Structure 1
Amino acid sequence: MAAHTSRSVIFAALGGNAAIAVTKFAAAFFTGSAAMMSEAIHSVVDTGNQLLLLFGLRRSARGPDESHPFGYGLQLYFYTFVVAVMIFGVGAVISFLHGLEKVRHPEPVENAWVNYLVLGLGILFEGAVWIFALRAFNRERRGRPWIRAVRASKDPTVFTVLFEDTAALLGLVTALLGVALSQAFDAPVLDGYASIAIGVILGLTAAFLAYESQSLLTGESAAKEIREGICRIAGDEPGVAGLNQAKTMHFGPNNVFVALSLHFSADLQAAEVEGVVTRIERKIKAAYVEVGQVFIEAQSFEADRRGRAPA
């Protein structure tokens, strides 16, 4: 269900950005607006980003094999990071440089009504995609504050599209103001400043997405409630005298690896320990469908403390 939702959001953004990009380029060449050209570049980058996310989703769906025993889920996080680099390296830098050139050599915007028409339609279409992405994100965050929900999310596709569309809407409004103010005050340089502002918006968006995706890419643990539930299941199982360590890691949005170090009762036989391990693994996977593999190590409290003591 989560993957289906992600693809729906990405396809909606892809269709909207591709159509808007063509329209913006036509308007930019017709009117000579730097802000409109920045917006056209922004839409092309967003279109490419959606294609990258779809490719990442496809790659991450591959099952485990000999070279990737935990599957390919981390590839989704890699391509999300590439998207952040694309937003900064292509969208933000080009928009900033293009605006800087327009500030140095300002030229009046011609046929500004074309810009108003295209930007107005852009706000309408981007707004529709933004609402679609927002609804999907709200279902995922379940009432939690936005930033906390983003930090807790292990599926970056929905919030990446949402933040891209937020940046797109802010960029459209900025471009509209740039064109309007440059006409109202007969100051073409303001159109260049609007392009620079769009570059700054994209740069901040890229920095935030890069920070979040690198955290996922370098290995995040499961959510706190999942970790606590796993510990509770293991600790409550008859035959377990104590829990030494419990470690989890996401190898994809729906692929969690669990490693437990347990201290078993001294009177248990080997076959009985094996039975306890099997029951714990079965209960964990039944309670949390995102758990893919469970590794359980039998180790005494003393051995665990010695293993964690500094050399």
Structure 2
Amino acid sequence: MASHSSSKIAIYGAIGANVAIAISKFVAAFFTGSSAMLSEGIHSLVDSGNGLLILFGVHQAEKPADARYPFGRSKELYFWSLIVAILVFSVGGGMSFYEGVEHLKHPAPITDPTWNYVVLGLSLVFEGISFFLAFREFNKSRGDAGFWATLGRSKDPSVFAILMEDLAALLGLVIALGGVYFGHMLDNPYFDGGASICIGLLLVSVAIFLIYKTKGLLVGQGVEEETLDALEALARQQRGVEQVRRPLTMYLGPQDVVLALDVEFHDHLSAIEVEKTVDELQDTIRANHPEFKRIFIEAKGLSGKQRNPLAPDPTSPQI
């Protein structure tokens, strides 16, 4: 819950910044006729809506389990993040690209870029603050890993989606600034339209990345290989354990993972000893990997005959 509360700060910051920036960009585009500025206004408006959708997803994911949703609703966050990615692709990227092409077909020179420079400068400041909040939250789970490695490993759309949108926003502002500056300096309106197309392509690229990430999580992505190896090692360290099959895992949410273990014990162990060992194994796994909220262990003897299938212990979320 604390993780969700801290990630909400980055979402609130992104929404507040994007609303203010979108209004100022549309005003500047109205007075100057800049295509790149209009695209940036669309970009910020889409980002504002996306932040609200992710915030809604976080809220829905926090709802407790019930009879209709026995495993809770953590995956709602992934669903709404997929909707966000589709909006970035279609509305943000598509409209920016279309606006750029139209401006190339019907170029209009920028008469006075002062409004554009003021708005873009303020936007860089606000987007920088928003990016800092998202990056600070992103760094909490980063450790010693590199930026791209951590981004690929992250399973929290409320962090990586906001971070990528803010990064795209900063790059888009730089592109828009270049289009306005060179278009006015060289008296060539094609720079402005070209900048709008580049912003569209940038948004499409970010959207494809987000779609790829959220699709895997929605379908049923499991934990990384090194975590599976660690789980196997923990299981083999328990007394009486002879064989452990490869663990089965699935992300329900960023900090809500299901684990299924198939463990074979020595035949000389009694049912009580097996049950005690299973309880110890569950406690050990939770101590080392608290993201496993639901642990299911099937205990068997060496003969392969099921001896004592066990559901999660009483500390697990119950329906």
Q: Residue 111 of structure 2 aligns with which residue?
A: 110
Residue number in structure 2 paired with 1:146: 147
| Paired amino acid for 1:88 | F
Structure 2 unpaired stretches of 5+: 306-319
Q: What amino acid is aligned across from residue 220 of structure 2 in structure 1?
A: G
What is aligned with 1:45? 46
**How far apart are 1:244 and its partner, in Å?**
2.4
**TM-score, normalised with respect to structure 2:** 0.90
Q: Which runs of 5+ in 1 are unaligned?
A: 305-311
CA distance in 2, matches of 1:205, 1:301: 50
Q: In 2, distance between residues paired with 1:6 and 1:39?
A: 25
Q: Is the 8 A contact 1:130 1:165 kept in 2?
A: yes
SS of the aligned residue for 1:251 comes to strand
Corresponding residue of 2:254 = 253
After TM superposition, the structure 1 = structure 2 runs for residues 66-81 of structure 1, keeping only pairs within 5 Å, are 66-81=67-82
Aligned residue in 1 for 2:313:
none
After superposition, the Cα gap between the structure-2 partners of 1:23 and 1:301, relative to the gap in structure 1 and judged at 3 Å, is: farther
C-alpha deviation, 1:229, in angstroms:
3.2
How far the C-alpha of 1:302 sits from its partner, in A, is 6.8
In the other structure, the counterpart of 1:65 is 66
> What amino acid is the match of 1:77?
Y
1-side partners of 2:115 and 2:183: how far apart? 15
One-letter amino acid matched to 1:234: A
Q: How does 1:227-266 map to 2 (within 5 A)?
A: 227-266=228-267
Q: 1:302 to 1:204 in 2, by over 3 A?
A: farther
Residue 217 of structure 1: aligned partner:
218
Residue of structure 1 in register with 2:204 after alignment? 203
The aligned residue for residue 120 of structure 2 is: 119
Deviations 1:193-245 (A, max 9, x none): 11111101111111111111112222222244443332222212112222123
Distance change (3 Å), C-alpha of 1:95 and 1:36: same
DSSP 3-state at the match of 1:101: helix
The structure-2 alpha-carbon separation of the partners of 1:5 and 1:225, relative to structure 1 and needing over 3 Å to count, comes to: farther
Cα deviation for residue 44 of structure 1 reads 0.3
SS in 2 for 1:141: coil
Quick one: distance in 1 between partners of 2:51 and 2:302?
49
Distance in structure 2 (CA, Å) of the matches to 1:172 and 1:286: 45
State the alpha-carbon separation in 1 of the partners of residues 124 and 116 from structure 2. 12
1:232-311 alignment runs, 5 A limit: 232-299=233-300, 303=304
Structure 1 residues 187, 222: CA separation in 2 closer, same or farther (over 3 Å shift)?
same
1:301/1:95 CA distance change after superposition, 3 Å? farther
> What's the RMSD between the two structures over aligned residues?
1.7
Structure-2 separation of matches of 1:217 and 1:113: 46
Corresponding residue for residue 316 of structure 2: none
Code of the aligned partner of 1:114? W
Name whichever of 3-12 and 124-133 sits farther off.
Answer: 124-133
In 2, Cα distance between equivalents of 1:213 and 1:260: 26
Q: Distance in 2 between the 1:150 and 1:216 partners?
A: 14
Question: Aligned partner of 1:256: which letter?
Answer: V
User: For residues 219 and 301 of structure 1, do their structure 2 counterparts lie closer, same or farther at Cα, with a shift above 3 Å needed?
Assistant: farther
Which of the pair is proportionally richer in helix?
1
Q: What is the letter of the counterpart of residue 19 of structure 1?
A: A
Deviates more, 1:46-55 or 1:232-241: 232-241
Could you tell me which amino acid in structure 2 is paired with residue 87 of structure 1?
V
Alpha-carbon offset, residue 2 of structure 1 = 1.7
AA partner of residue 119 (structure 1):
L
Q: Which residue of 2 aligns with 1:158?
A: 159
Q: TM-score, normalised by structure 1?
A: 0.93
Shift of 1:294: 1.0
1:85-133 Cα distance to aligned partner (Å, 9 max, x none)? 1111100000000111110001112321111111111111111211222
How many residues matched? 304
